[in-house]
Chains A and B, each alone.
Chain A
């Protein structure tokens, strides 16, 4: 019996080797297959996220349109009451240097040039307040079809 087994030993070892290597190869290939499947899924998810980021970027750009920001900032500016440092009651309190902004005010280019020079050269005007501290009515930003991102999206399907 042992003698007979000896004569088949080579075949038995080869068979076991084939089975083990085949099984190992199968496990490895299955693992690679699974990993690739996961990778594909992740790729697809990354792509979907990329599209979502695109949509969010588009919405951000839409919501920060200069026109819209201007409207909102104007509405905000009108809703804030002036502080004491911003009130200027006498023309004489305005600096003759056209480049030096009055205290408390930001430098906004004057669209009426030579204003200060004219005042200084000609007769000084009556001391009337040039800035009214009366609060202005709060301006509401109207929500129209054009400033709503969803409305904008409603339209893009209808391609030119």
Chain B
């Protein structure tokens, strides 16, 4: 074999070996490339998953503090000027995990001192991993417990309803349960809306007027040792309920602990025989139905007998009375005769038109249904004319009075602010002429009648007193009176109606033993109106002498002697 042949063979062998090595190398590269591609594909898929498919979120542990069923959103309640009446605040509640507490005796002792409660040690000895120590602790307690530094003590954030005005508007605003559900008042009526927690609920109530009303009622309750009192203020034109009070009241933060009497809303649920205040309605019925003026006279010289019933006057004038005299002397006999002149059906229909026979439909829960005679006999017409035998709520009286002085147009009552319905059809219950006559009589009753204690110089207060005996089993109790006064001002063009009722007042030395509406309730209305003029900035009006000037000729002197103090019935 020549050298070249050997050389060629070696070269061929080398080339063959190199080719094999290259082939092996290529195969390995393919494997590495495939692995890299798989790795990249995995990274891309994972990046896509993290950035696109999965929603970024924080660890669950960070959320667990606020994910609590005891935290609820509930809208604030504010008055007509935006003053806060009810809000929701966060409070911390303390719980323990006994396993994580090392020195249980020491911690229990410290907690008892901070929280001022006893028997914490047995709670920490329990086997479970969760035990409530105290719900709703104060910020100071929260701070002190944190300072203990025990890992076994932790807090859960809860919410509680808070009423900054306290008991001032407790019956109107109402209260909620521990889980934020409305149980009474506006809290109950607007529970669904408030639960959404969107925006504050604005009421028509003015807290300043509310305070004036509560203050005046409390004062008279104390002066006359009464068992309760009711009051209300409404805007005659719009029907806005500006204030509403029922005494005794309660602390809305502890409504569950208040007694039944305090929780009973006399303004809405209570129905009362109003007594002479009702003469406002029967006189309006007479003037409207008879078509006559004030010249018609009624014989009140003797008691009126109807079947087995006898109707007397509290302070008998014992003479023939004109319509204004019947009104300002509050003659039961005269009013009963007016009722008879009107007739049973007409009087009943008139009361019905004034809304006195049916339950009021408005944005407030638990309103009382009037108690009316069934069947309605002739004697009921006579008694209903002077406010006996028919029981209505204070809200009924306010609305009916507003209707009469508002030219016979009934205002729609609203507790919460609502846009005025311009398409609302309002029917006229009585003529404008009758409404004017009633305004004259109301003013006359304050200047010359039983309502003098309600007058406020410059504001032309008009009104009617009422005193009724409360019905008990088998009749009426002379010692249990319900004294009231319904006032409107200014009388020539009334803007506001104010009602005050004192439940079972006892006469005092200052009132010469009397506990009638003129002595007890009329001053409340006067005080409230005086305060309203200040807080609402109402300008005084010049006395409209034309309003009552022409009535002098219908008023006659009484021959007998009587004390002005006594004609407040």
Chain A interface residues (CB < 8 Å from chain B): 11, 15, 18-19, 22, 25-26, 28-29, 32-33, 36-37, 40, 44, 51, 54-55, 57-62, 64-67, 70, 98-99, 107-115, 146, 150, 152-160
Contacts and interface: CB of A to CB of B under 8 A. Distances in A.
Contacts of A57: 76, 84, 87
A25 B36 CA distance: 19
Nearest to B79: A61
Contact of B533 (A22, A37, A109, A115): A109
A160 B254 CA distance: 5
B56 A37 contact: yes
Contact of B164 (A19, A61, A157): A61
Nearest to A44: B66
A158 B141 CA distance: 14
A99 B458 contact: yes
Contacts of A115: 457
Ranked nearest first, the 4 interchain pairs of A and B with the lowest CB-CB distance are A157-B136, A29-B51, A61-B164, A61-B84
A22 B47 CA distance: 7
Contacts, number: 154
Contacts of B139: 153
Contacts of A18: 40, 44
B177 A160 contact: yes
Contacts of A33: 56
Interface string B253-264: 111110000000
B417 interface: no
Contacts of A156: 89, 91, 136, 160-162, 253
B211 interface: yes
B51 A54 contact: no
B58 interface: yes
A156 B58 CA distance: 33
25 contacts: A15-B37, A25-B51, A51-B89, A54-B76, A55-B90, A58-B89, A58-B164, A59-B164, A60-B84, A61-B87, A61-B164, A62-B165, A66-B207, A67-B168, A98-B457, A109-B456, A109-B459, A111-B457, A114-B457, A154-B138, A155-B254, A157-B160, A158-B136, A159-B135, A160-B257
B45 to A, nearest CB: 10
A53 to B, nearest CB: 10
Contact of B527 (A32, A59, A111, A153): A111
Contacts of B215: 67
A15 B33 CA distance: 10
B166 interface: yes
Contact of B211 (A15, A59, A66, A110): A66
Given A158-B136, A160-B175, A111 B256 contact: no
Interface of A is mostly: helix
A11 B32 CA distance: 13
Contact of A109 (B83, B137, B253, B458): B458
A113 B456 CA distance: 6
Interface in B47-71: 47-48, 50-52, 56, 58, 66
B164 A65 contact: yes
B44 A22 contact: yes
Contacts of A32: 51, 56
Given A32-B51, A37-B56, A158 B542 contact: no
Nearest to B176: A160
Given A18-B44, A28-B51, A146 B166 contact: yes
B526 A111 contact: yes
B530 A111 contact: yes
Given A22-B43, A65-B166, A66-B207, 9 more contacts: A57-B76, A58-B87, A65-B165, A99-B542, A110-B457, A110-B458, A156-B162, A158-B254, A159-B177
A48 B96 CA distance: 24
Contacts of B44: 18, 22
A62 to B, nearest CB: 4
A28 B178 CA distance: 47
Contact of B51 (A15, A26, A44, A107): A26
A147 to B, nearest CB: 10
Contacts of A54: 76, 87-89
Contacts of B176: 160
